[in-house]
Each structure stands twice: as C-alpha cells, then as structure tokens.
Amino acid sequence: AQRRKLTQGDKMAGRHGNKGVISKVVPIEDMPYLEDGTPVDIILNPLGVPGRMNIGQILETHLGWAADRLGFRAITPVFDGAEESEIEAELGRAWMIDHAWKIVTERAWEWIKALEYDPEALTDDDEVRRLYIDQWLGEKPEYDREMLVE
C-alpha cells in the first residue's frame, strides 16, 4: 500500500463494503458547506447505503459528527465498534449542547441590544457569547472561562 493524493478516476473502498470511483476533485472553495461555514470534505452517493445495507457507515458518520461536536476522537475497531445505543447517546449529547449553545447565543445578542452596544462593533457570535459569559460568571475563580467559551 502507498499513500498519495487522490485524483479523478481513483477507486476507493471503505470498511463497510462500500466502494466507488472518484468522479471529481474540486477546490475547497467550490465544495458545499454547512450552516456554520464548515466545508464538506467528501460527498458520497446516497444510493450506496441502502443498496448494500451499509448501516454501519451511517452509524460511523453519526459517531464522527458527535465526536467532533463534543471534542473527542472516536476510535472503533472493526467488528468491535461502538454499540448503537452508545452512538445514540453521544448524538443526543451533541444535539443538546448545540441546542443550548444556540439559546445562549440568542440570549447574549438580546443582552447586548438591551445594553445599547453598537452591534456593528462586535465581530461575531463568539465575541458576544464571551462578553455575556464574562458578565454572567463575573470573576469567579472556580470557572475556567476559556473552557466555557470555546
């Protein structure tokens, strides 16, 4: 086996029996992106999952998303990976954290507007959340502010 850059026409295979040929390689700026601006790395043909019943591929994708959102790296050995219930639990945790973060962001913007800050002076949601959390927690030494706002 050798490592090299993928090119159009190369054949790839996954560990779930899925295989395919790379049809197009495009620059990152031409790839679709998520709501938060994160670019998509790869696009798979969705017909490959039900055609081969690659449910493991979907579960692995879900676990990867949850791990990214929760800040850990999931390592699942072949034939001895994470249980479906464990993946569901991590997905639930990731969704709850995303949902809570969204609510905190909305409240932070409401707070900023009530204080009559100039919204144009603030660059993004992260800055607004940082101000809000700093105000909310004050100078309490038991809280790690950097951990909370990242």
Residues 41-74: pLDDT tens digits?
888 877 777 777 778 888 888 999 999 989 999 9
Average pLDDT over residues 102-106: 90
Average of per-residue pLDDT across 81-91: 92
Give me the domain span that covers residue 128. Answer: 83-150
- Cβ neighbours of residue 78 closer than 8 Å, sequence gap 6 or more: 15
| Cα three-residue angle 18-21-25, rounded to 5 degrees | 120
CA dist 141 and 39 (Å) reads 37
Asked whether residue 25 is assigned to any structural domain, the reply reads no
Residue 13 has pLDDT above 90, yes or no: no
Check: CB of residue 74 under 8 Å from CB of residue 63: yes
Average pLDDT, the chain: 84
In a domain, 107, yes or no: yes
Q: What is the mean pLDDT of residues 129-138?
A: 80
Whether 141 shows a pLDDT value over 80: the answer reads no
* Residue 140 belongs to a domain: yes
- Residue 4: inside a domain, yes or no? no
Task: Provide mean pLDDT across the span 24-46.
Answer: 87
57 in a domain, yes or no? no
- 80 CB contacts (<8 Å, ≥6 apart)? none
Residue 35, pLDDT above cutoff 70: yes
**Residue 14 placed within a domain:** no
Within a domain: residue 55? no
Buried b (16+ CB within 10 A) or exposed e, 20-32: eeeeeeeeeeeee
Residue 132 in this model has a pLDDT that exceeds 70: yes
Q: Band of the pLDDT at 139, cuts 50, 70, 90? A: low
94 pLDDT higher than 90: yes
What pLDDT, on the 0 to 100 scale, is given for residue 146? 61
pLDDT at 22: 92
Does residue 148 register a pLDDT over 60?
no
Q: Residue 145 above 70 pLDDT?
A: no
Q: How many domains does the chain have?
A: 1
Domain membership of residue 101 (yes or no) is yes
